[in-house]
Structure 1
């Protein structure tokens, strides 16, 4: 089955690629297997130089890369520019800090000398999503390559041009041929890759079913995985908060990437005492958002990435309404032209005992809940199978301590929207996955943590 690049704003087919056949896949695995023994012996200074050069290429050609992202998956062009810049940031970060993150660590024992040494594993398979088609890959590739591993990228099938561009960037930066390869293949071939002895571990960012499938395939081979899956992130606002600032952040956090972000705020949990004011301000912000061609600089919201995503989102909205929810704005696809456009939508009054209240809405839909106090806010925040991120707004120190301690998530941001930062570990708990990316914890996921004892 062909791999197609389709513009979600127009429905136009941009380019079609033939997926790799079995012999082509085998050749790429052979190349990865051949290059690793030599690549692992390259110095940190060489790898750092190549990674810094990748950052330079990203910065110099960001307009072209951003255009490719916008045309393939529909994110606003200005957001795509920011994504390329963030990729350059993570490259420079690991170029600078990886040598210290991976330095031998002396441990005092009764040996003459004992220490921990970090060594690469080999070829790491990255199964990556379409929503941040450059950032998701570079936040894996930068630490993996600096650790001495080689990378195999199975990108989402709707962003093949992004996948090929990333491979080209890293090769032009100086990394040896075969150190990072894009595999244009379908999801059905991932299990066979995991069964190949040359693939040593895998990371996946994507849906729960995709994560479970990869974990099962890896488990049969006793290979490590890191999974970053979905989220139904709460956004809690308590009476002491700066409501106007919180509403601005809430709008940005919900509409990030056209609402298609695992860490986007999705469930807005508002204290009853301020709920009327918050709801009115949020509605005003949503009504002011401009929807349209994501290549235009004044557009706030572009199309959803595929027609299937559009249909799935609308089915969820209908389910919320059928469960008792009330639509304040939006609520159905825009039908006055081509493309996968869904308007900014707010739904209130969904009964808490309905399953739809716990689901992840992957699009520009905000679910608004009212609670009497902080106890109910924390209980509702945790009443979901997910545990990726959470944002909470308060100026009360005691409330801050409770929120950071009691919310079940991989990250809690107080008086700020949730975001990823190369300096901080990123990942979730519960059905949002396991393991961490970024920071020192991320680079340690795919290394052999070797104990050395000398006497």
Structure 2
């Protein structure tokens, strides 16, 4: 593993270090492990309804503290204020969903026994879990890991991204204030070496990671070595296929707004926009028009206009994005607009075409506000291009003919296929991918099927 960075809250707008945090000591890690294992013995004994009631209180506090939490996210990773509030509100929806539906989702499932005996599948918690979470959605990513497992009766350790420590602290404080018992949830400012120690510890029964492909491979290898259940949500290079449209400009505007959500820093963002050749010129022209004349804006300003853009999460994130774009341009791609680095972590939203397989941009995930557009001449060519990626998170297909779009969407090699919408989203909608985008599912009914002992319980009949 690479050298451990400092846990630091740094403004991507100004570059100012707002706060720093000490790493957990080895004694802190041991105390958290011991507390989590000890709490599991009692937390698992609470009824599903009792645990669901605690989850409901957590959701209520997310709603109550929405403005406070949103501002921390704005300050730490540059998320636009309105989007930060939406993220916190989504957390409430996730906890409410599992509070309401969790007991039924975790209920015993009867099996028809041909012998006449009684058989059921029981869903039982498995123990202490580790969550390793990213910075791009510092609350939502935690909520979708915590909510179902809290209701199931598992206990949880959370290692958050080094750049959002204040968000991590705020979540831990919120859960404690909501009545989550001591030891059931604990935040750890752990080092990479300590993460390895936690995964190896026999008291830990599983690990969930949302992050980079590299981090996922490392964690999966460690989990496999120690025979631990693992869930991974990694990168994506989602295809966004537009087969036809009655309004090309409106279609381009929707694609642009989707690409710029969270400043392009979403795993399931439309990283590859694939447009049929009869729409292509007008589509690209509209994207260029939307990107032109934009200027840096303050993400904390609730009245920030559509003619401004927020920063990326960090200077490092901006530099990584710029390297991939510069590589494409050097090999002949066309950068129509944008792509300029500004002060702090600002990067002007860009439109890029002419990307070919030898360029890094063809295979790598562009985690930022760059719309990459491809032209195709048929549905078959669109499908081939859409599936020509090592990733398989999500994808979307648009057409005025719903069945035409659905026919292509059914053939996408992804975990989430969408028809005539950028993404189906909601607390009840499962999230996850295939190929190098990871494995396992979060949210919805499938979110309660990962870290659970699906125990067969069989009772011999007296007859």
- Same fold (TM > 0.5): yes
Name the residue aligned to 1:239. 244
Structure 1: stretches of 5+ with no match in the other structure: none
How far apart are the structure 2 equivalents of 1:305 and 1:183? 22
How far apart are the structure 1 equivalents of 2:247 and 2:145? 36
1:223 aligns with 2:231: no
Aligned-residue CA RMSD (Å)? 1.4
1:405 aligns with 2:418: no
1:71 aligns with 2:79: no
How far apart are the structure 1 equivalents of 2:334 and 2:347? 17
1:4 aligns with 2:12: no
How far apart are the structure 1 equivalents of 2:402 and 2:137? 35
SS of the aligned residue for 1:403 comes to helix
Tell me, yes or no, if the aligned pair for 1:270 and 1:370 is still in contact at 8 Å. yes
Tell me, yes or no, if the aligned pair for 2:81 and 2:302 is still in contact at 8 Å. yes
How far apart are the structure 2 equivalents of 1:38 and 1:56? 24
Q: Structure 1 length normalisation: TM-score?
A: 0.97
How far apart are the structure 2 equivalents of 1:127 and 1:418? 24
Which deviates more from structure 2 when the two are superposed, residues 32-41 or residues 188-197?
Answer: 188-197
Structure 1 residue 401: Cα displacement: 3.0
Tell me, yes or no, if the aligned pair for 2:159 and 2:188 is still in contact at 8 Å. yes
The structure 2 residue matched to 1:436, chosen from 437, 441, 449, is 441
Structure 2: stretches of 5+ with no match in the other structure: none
1:180 aligns with 2:185: yes
Structure 1 residue 211: Cα displacement: 0.2
The structure 2 residue matched to 1:127, chosen from 132, 137, 142, is 132
Name the residue aligned to 1:29. 33
1:329 aligns with 2:334: no
How far apart are the structure 1 equivalents of 2:15 and 2:324? 23
1:377 aligns with 2:382: yes
Tell me, yes or no, if the aligned pair for 1:241 and 1:394 is still in contact at 8 Å. no
Name the residue aligned to 1:273. 278
SS of the aligned residue for 2:329 comes to helix
Structure 1 residue 72: Cα displacement: 0.5
Tell me, yes or no, if the aligned pair for 1:105 and 1:115 is still in contact at 8 Å. yes
How far apart are the structure 1 equivalents of 2:292 and 2:52? 46
1:315 aligns with 2:349: no
Aligned 1:244-263 pairs, distance under 5 A:
244-263=249-268
Tell me, yes or no, if the aligned pair for 2:242 and 2:274 is still in contact at 8 Å. yes
Q: Structure 2 length normalisation: TM-score?
A: 0.95
How far apart are the structure 2 equivalents of 1:418 and 1:245? 17
1:298-322 CA-partner distances (Å, limit 9, x unpaired): 3353111111111111111100101
1:122–1:20 distance in 2 versus 1, CA, 3 Å: same
The structure 2 residue matched to 1:306, chosen from 311, 314, 319, is 314
How far apart are the structure 1 equivalents of 2:344 and 2:435? 35
SS of the aligned residue for 2:410 comes to helix
The structure 2 residue matched to 1:47, chosen from 37, 47, 51, is 51
Structure 1 residue 353: Cα displacement: 4.6
Tell me, yes or no, if the aligned pair for 2:74 and 2:80 is still in contact at 8 Å. yes
Tell me, yes or no, if the aligned pair for 1:55 and 1:88 is still in contact at 8 Å. yes
SS of the aligned residue for 1:125 comes to strand
How far apart are the structure 2 equivalents of 1:397 and 1:343? 35
Tell me, yes or no, if the aligned pair for 1:241 and 1:393 is still in contact at 8 Å. no
SS of the aligned residue for 1:406 comes to coil
How far apart are the structure 2 equivalents of 1:279 and 1:193? 49
How far apart are the structure 1 equivalents of 2:6 and 2:373? 41
Tell me, yes or no, if the aligned pair for 1:205 and 1:227 is still in contact at 8 Å. yes
Which deviates more from structure 2 when the two are superposed, residues 267-276 or residues 234-243?
Answer: 234-243
Tell me, yes or no, if the aligned pair for 1:150 and 1:180 is still in contact at 8 Å. yes
Which deviates more from structure 2 when the two are superposed, residues 20-29 or residues 247-256?
Answer: 247-256
How far apart are the structure 2 equivalents of 1:309 and 1:204? 19
Name the residue aligned to 1:59. 63
Tell me, yes or no, if the aligned pair for 2:291 and 2:338 is still in contact at 8 Å. no
Which deviates more from structure 2 when the two are superposed, residues 290-299 or residues 431-440?
Answer: 290-299
Tell me, yes or no, if the aligned pair for 2:406 and 2:419 is still in contact at 8 Å. no
Name the residue aligned to 2:117. 112
How far apart are the structure 2 equivalents of 1:2 and 1:413? 39
1:111-134 CA-partner distances (Å, limit 9, x unpaired): 421010000011110000000000
Structure 1 residue 369: Cα displacement: 0.7
How far apart are the structure 2 equivalents of 1:288 and 1:249? 19
SS of the aligned residue for 2:8 comes to strand
Tell me, yes or no, if the aligned pair for 1:157 and 1:186 is still in contact at 8 Å. no
Which deviates more from structure 2 when the two are superposed, residues 277-286 or residues 255-264?
Answer: 277-286
Structure 1 residue 71: Cα displacement: 0.3
How far apart are the structure 2 equivalents of 1:444 and 1:239? 38
Structure 1 residue 288: Cα displacement: 5.9
The structure 2 residue matched to 1:414, chosen from 415, 419, 424, is 419
